[in-house]
Structure 1
């Protein structure tokens, strides 16, 4: 039986994230793959607000907020009030986070080379397929597509 799209995507994420997580363990890092978008932004900028992190990392604001909270709890980030009224939260790397950067960057380079190798073995590069799927879904969401199909399918008794 052919697996559904959601099942295939979850399995793919398990295969990729599990290997990436293991690469951090092998490098002696206590670090989660989900931290990488935030860490990459802060490796290039001294600080950023949660909104800026979300935009620059290409993640949602709730995801940025949750990730920052986890990273702060693990001592990787420092968070301070900012903005004119103090309601914005300004995020920067802690000394511990900064100290991890060289080993993280080595892991990221190895991961990039492995991803490029995977793309080279596929008939259609996974990175291109994912970028195309994201662009198409940003134009018309999967929820809209499901609702449209639900209207066309009569309910089964």
Structure 2
């Protein structure tokens, strides 16, 4: 039998397992987008979804709403702007503030994707049910625990 180092590592490989799981899910969803002839990447989803109601939002607001870093939001926004799915402008009151809104092309794409997103949700729900149905609750608890004490702080406490 082949050695499973990730399994051997247990909790030491937590970040690796989460990353691997994310990549597996994104790969399959990406394949579905391609087969559906949709020019869309899974990593764009949360930002596009946040903008889907037509609201104009600042990168800082999106960063907070999506629990992602400002640079990560900017990186995805740059790609979406380059693909003409999102329009950007500077806030007149604060030129440092970058405001984003779905373009007409982006709105059209979202309208074509709504049914597919519903199917992806059903598939996710099925997967979560098959796995015991507690993953999201567990992730909520892990995120809350990290909000209270970061991994950095936890590791440093063992070094003191």
Instruction: Place the TM-score, normalised by the shorter chain, in its bin.
Output: 0.7 to 0.9
Deviation at 1:32, TM superposition (A): 1.1
- Give 4+ residue runs of structure 1 displaced > 3 Å after superposition: none
Deviation at 1:135, TM superposition (A): 1.1
Q: Contact (CA 8 Å) 2:85, 2:104: kept in 1 or not?
A: yes
Q: Contact (CA 8 Å) 1:24, 1:31: kept in 2 or not?
A: yes
Counterpart residue number, 1:155: none
Counterpart residue number, 2:61: 52
Q: Contact (CA 8 Å) 2:54, 2:102: kept in 1 or not?
A: no
Counterpart residue number, 2:23: 14
Matched, 1:95 2:104: yes
CA RMSD of aligned residues (A): 1.7
Deviation at 1:150, TM superposition (A): 3.2
Give the Cα separation in 1 of the matches to 2:125 and 2:133. Answer: 12
Deviation at 1:107, TM superposition (A): 2.3
Paired positions, count: 151
Give the Cα separation in 2 of the matches to 1:140 and 1:51. Answer: 23
Normalising by structure 1, report the TM-score: 0.87
Give the Cα separation in 1 of the matches to 2:68 and 2:113. Answer: 20
Counterpart residue number, 2:131: 122
Deviation at 1:7, TM superposition (A): 2.3
Give the Cα separation in 2 of the matches to 1:56 and 1:45. Answer: 16
Normalising by structure 2, report the TM-score: 0.85
Structure 1 counterpart of 2:91, from 82, 85, 100? 82
Counterpart residue number, 2:44: 35
Q: Contact (CA 8 Å) 1:42, 1:48: kept in 2 or not?
A: yes
Give the Cα separation in 2 of the matches to 1:7 and 1:16. Answer: 14
Secondary structure of 2:68's counterpart equals coil
Counterpart residue number, 1:135: 144
Counterpart residue number, 1:154: none
Structure 2 counterpart of 1:146, from 127, 132, 155? 155
